[in-house]
Chains A and B, each alone.
Chain A
Amino acid sequence: GAVVSQHPSWVICKSGTSVKIECRSLDFQATTMFWYRQFPKQSLMLMATSNEGSKATYEQGVEKDKFLINHASLTLSTLTVTSAHPEDSSFYICSTRDSGGATDTQYFGPGTRLTVL
């Protein structure tokens, strides 16, 4: 099946720093990528939908200036958490959809665990 990678798998940073998370689609070209966040014992919450070559679409309540998304190529989307604070500590997961495949399935990356001190 399709493979989606994320880097880094975990990161610990000081409050106020910015953290960039990469999401790569390895097996197919992904025109659309999704970014989710999951707090402990809670559901995955969609943060934004990232489209190659255009601006991302953010969900209600997600600050676009804080969570910068860049989808510059068909295989790479990045999420930058700017001026991270402890409340941003969470599990960030990207997913891509293989619309060119036989089924419209979403494939998830392994996630990035962010801890802000």
Chain B
Amino acid sequence: RKEVEQDPGPFNVPEGATVAFNCTYSNSASQSFFWYRQDCRKEPKLLMSVYSSGNEDGRFTAQLNRASQYISLLIRDSKLSDSATYLCVVIHSGGYNKLIFGAGTRLAVHP
């Protein structure tokens, strides 16, 4: 079983739509959680951290459910520029705080 699992998609949505991505992680010792965005043939870029209380950054809302080991990302009012692959990332405790990446969920926003 992969440590971080995501639905690969693609999610094809029209501009203005609301879309939600889910992610599950297997290691209950995971302590930090993030969503990264990766454009085609580019490096990943941090989108936002995810906190147990839930957090929002503009059109993006992230939620963490530690009991279910589940992370979500909600994008409201999708823009064409939101088209990318969204990577769910967790960090375990100990060692060098390695980032463990999910394979990503692809989003395509169309006019």
Interface residue ranges, A against B (CB under 8 Å): 32, 34, 36, 41-46, 49, 57, 91, 93, 95, 97, 104-106, 108-111, 113
Contact = CB atoms under 8 A, between A and B. Distances in A.
Chain B interface residue count: which class? 10 to 19
Given A108-B44, A108-B45, A113-B41, A41 B101 contact: no
Contacts of B104: 43
Given A32-B96, A108-B45, A111-B41, 4 more contacts: A34-B98, A43-B101, A43-B104, A108-B44
B84 interface: no
B102 A43 contact: yes
Contacts of A111: 41-43
A45 B44 CA distance: 13
Contacts of B41: 91, 111, 113
Contacts of B2: 43
Contact of A46 (B45, B46, B98, B103): B98
B98 A44 contact: no
B103 A42 contact: yes
Given A41-B8, A43-B4, A43-B104, A110 B43 contact: yes
Nearest to B104: A43
11 contacts: A34-B96, A34-B98, A43-B87, A43-B101, A43-B102, A46-B98, A49-B96, A106-B46, A106-B99, A110-B43, A111-B42
B52 interface: no
